[in-house]
């Protein structure tokens, strides 16, 4: 159970490192769909993730088809600038999978057209093309967790003093 962040063919190691850190801090699983635009040994990836890698569960898939074969029956949400539905207007069940496309192209168009009811977007001004991938992941991850009452996360009363 829990939140799942899926990066489909990520290209920039620093983004994936930042996303890994967000996943570690929230308890979300990170799913990486190949091909990756970098090695998992990349120094920029490791540096961006800091010392959080041991708190992280990472799953790798050789292709998007392999990912769908294993998780296609789960609640999948496709994050795209092309969606009509705003992310904050959606109810996310436990064990949701948030899918993000590569930085230069997003998710495949045929995928988005096949499931428009599962496509969500982050509102932006008309002249903005998109947000940084790691920022978009953080926005969506925390909305899902907020709706679920931040399961397993510390609250103000949990801190001493």
The whole-model pTM stands at 0.91
pLDDT for 39-74, tens place per residue?
A: 777 565 666 545 677 788 999 999 999 999 999 999
Q: What is the mean pLDDT of the chain?
A: 89
Domain ranges of the chain: 4-158
Residue 44, pLDDT score: 58
Kindly state the tokens that stand for 51.
């010392």
Candidates 27, 19, 26, 9; CA nearest to 50 is 19
Supply the CATH classification number for the domain 4-158: 3.40.1280.10
Residue 157, pLDDT score: 61
pLDDT-derived band at 14 (thresholds 50, 70, 90) equals confident
Q: How far is CA 104 from CA 37, 42, 49, 138, in A?
A: 11, 20, 22, 19
Structure letter (DSSP) for residue 111: H
Give the percent of the chain with pLDDT over 70. 89
């Amino acid at each position: 159970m829990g939140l799942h962040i899926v990066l489909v063919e990520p290209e920039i190691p620093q983004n994936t490192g930042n996303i890994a850190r967000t996943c570690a801090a929230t308890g979300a699983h990170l799913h990486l769909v190949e091909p990756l635009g970098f090695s998992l040994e990349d120094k920029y990836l490791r540096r961006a993730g800091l010392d959080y890698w041991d708190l992280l569960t990472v799953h790798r898939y050789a292709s998007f088809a392999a990912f769908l074969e294993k998780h296609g029956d789960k609640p999948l949400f496709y994050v795209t600038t092309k969606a009509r539905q705003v992310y904050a207007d959606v109810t996310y069940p436990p064990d949701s999978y948030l899918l993000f496309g590569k930085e230069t192209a997003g998710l495949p168009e045929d995928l988005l057209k096949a499931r428009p009811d599962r496509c969500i977007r982050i509102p932006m001004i008309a002249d903005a093309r998109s947000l940084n991938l790691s920022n978009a992941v953080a926005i969506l991850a925390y909305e899902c967790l907020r709706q679920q009452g931040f399961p397993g996360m510390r609250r103000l009363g949990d801190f001493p003093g």
